[in-house]
Chain A
Amino acid sequence: MEYKIVFAGVTGAGKTTAIGSVSEIDPVRTDVRNHDASLAKEFTTVGLDYGEVALEGSDRLRLYGTPGQTRFEFMWRIVSQGALGLVLLADNSQDGALDAIDTYIDGFSELIDRTACVIGVGRSESHSEPGLDDYADRLAERGVICPVVPVDVRRRSDVLMLLDLLLTQLEMKTGTTDELF
C-alpha cells in the first residue's frame, strides 16, 4: 500500500526543506531557477517535490510538496486524492501571509474536511506579525479548527512535531483507516 501526506503553502515557505528533513530518500525536486523578482530565492518548485518513508513490507509513506504558485492549483486537487492529511506551511516574512492561508484553505478544502490539517508558521521569530492567534482567528472564521504552531522547517524535530499533531488528529478522529479513503 502507498499512503501520502501533502505539504502545501506559499512559495518559499519551506515545503521542499520540510520533506527533505524527514524523507528516507534524497527528495526528488523539480526546482528551476526563479525569475520572479518578488521572491528572494534562487530556485523554486514548479512540479511536485517528493520524499518517502518506508513502512512495513512494500508499504510506503509518500510525502508530496505541491508547487506554491496558485497557477498550479489544479495539481493540488490531484495530489490530494487519497491523501492522509495536509501540512500547511505559512511564511510570516512574506507580505499577505495571512491572506495566503485563505487560498490554501480553499484549494485543499476537500482534503481538510475529509482528513486533518496542521498549520506550521515559519519565520515567526523574526517576523512577529501576523501572530499565531491571527492565524487561528482566520481559520476559525473559515470554520477550520486545527493546530497552529511556530516551526523552523530546517529542524527535523519541528517537522516531526507537525506530523505528530497531524497523526494525533487522524488517530482520534477515525475509527478505522478505511474511513480515510
Chain B
Amino acid sequence: MVFKSPNPSTDMSAMSVRRYHVTGMDTRCELLFHSMMRLVGDKAVSRWVHDAREHDLVITGPDATDLACPTAVRRPFSHFTSGRTDDCAMLRLAGMVEALNAVEQALAAAGEGARSPGTGPTRPAGEEVMKLTRWPEASLMAFHPASPKMATLLLSRPMTLMELVRFSGIDRRVCAQFVTRLSQRGLLDRRGSADRKGPAPLRSGGGGLFAMIRARLGLGEEFG
C-alpha cells in the first residue's frame, strides 16, 4: 500500500461547539472533570467548552441546584463515569467521549443546534448531510490510511459528519479534516437531512449476514 502517514494537525476551527456546565459537585471532582473535558475536547463529535451562563449540557452532582439554562440537557455525573458511582476517580477518557456523543445525539434529535465555531449563528448539529460525488483523487486519498473507508462510506449514502464518525469508528478529527478536504475539492454534495432518501444503513450487529462475514474474515465490526 502507498498511503502516507496521517497528518497530525487538527482543524479545530471546523468543529462545532457545545457548551457545558457543572453543578453540585465538590471542587476536586469539578476540577478533574474540566481537565478531562479539555483532554477529550477534540475527540468527541463537537468541541465542548465550559460556559456557566449558557449551555447545552449540565452535569449534575449530588448537590445540584437550579439550572442557569433550563433548556439544557441534564445528565448526572455518574453518566460520565465508567462505574456506577459518582466517584470522580472512575472517569475514563473513552467513556467520556462515548457519553458526550450520546448527549450530542440526544441534542441533535431534539433539534438543538451546535454553535458554529466562534460566535456565529447556530446550525442544527448533524443536520447537514454529505455525499461523495466521485471517487477522490489519489493525492487526497493519501491523507490517511483510513481515507478509502471514509470515502466509501460517503459515496454509499448521504450522511452527517457525526454518522461518518460513528459508522467508521475513525477519530472525529480525522473525519472532519477529510471532509474539509473533500469539500475544498468540490467533491461533496451537501444538503439538509430532510432531503435524505433511501433506507437506513444496515446494522451488521445482531448476527446479520454482513456481521457474520466480517467475523469470519477477521474484519472489524463497523457499527456500534
Contact = CB atoms under 8 A, between A and B. Distances in A.
A148 interface: yes
A59 interface: yes
Interface residues of A, number: 43
B151 interface: yes
Given A53-B216, A146-B155, A163-B219, A170 B135 contact: no
Nearest to A119: B135
Contact of B199 (A24, A158, A167, A175): A175
A165 B1 contact: no
Interface stretch (A32-40, A73-81, A130-138): A130-138
Contacts of B214: 164, 167
Contact of B149 (A22, A133, A158, A168): A168
A177 B161 CA distance: 25
Contact of B202 (A125, A136, A172): A172
Given A168-B149, A174-B202, A55 B213 contact: yes
B210 A147 contact: no
A151 to B, nearest CB: 8
Interface string B116-153: 00000000000000001111111001000000110111
A25 interface: no
Nearest to A175: B199
Contacts of B132: 145
Contacts of B151: 147
Contacts of B133: 145
Contacts of B209: 3, 55, 177
A28 interface: no
B184 to A, nearest CB: 17
Contacts of B202: 170-172, 174-177
Contacts of B218: 160
A53 B218 CA distance: 11
Given A158-B1, A168-B156, A54 B135 contact: no
B212 interface: yes
Interface in A12-71: 22, 24, 53-56, 59, 61
A132 B138 CA distance: 6
Interface string B182-218: 0000000000000000111111100111101110111
A173 B110 CA distance: 26
B157 interface: yes
A167 B135 CA distance: 17
Nearest to B201: A172
B142 to A, nearest CB: 10
8 nearest CB pairs, A to B: A175-B199, A172-B156, A136-B135, A132-B138, A172-B201, A55-B212, A169-B156, A165-B152
10 contacts: A3-B213, A116-B156, A132-B138, A133-B138, A139-B135, A145-B132, A161-B148, A167-B213, A171-B210, A175-B198
Given A164-B149, A164-B214, 19 more contacts: A55-B212, A132-B138, A140-B135, A145-B132, A145-B133, A145-B134, A146-B155, A160-B217, A164-B219, A165-B148, A167-B204, A167-B222, A170-B202, A172-B153, A172-B156, A172-B157, A173-B157, A173-B201, A176-B202
Interface of B: 1-2, 132-138, 141, 148-149, 151-153, 155-157, 159, 167, 198-204, 207-210, 212-214, 216-219, 222-223
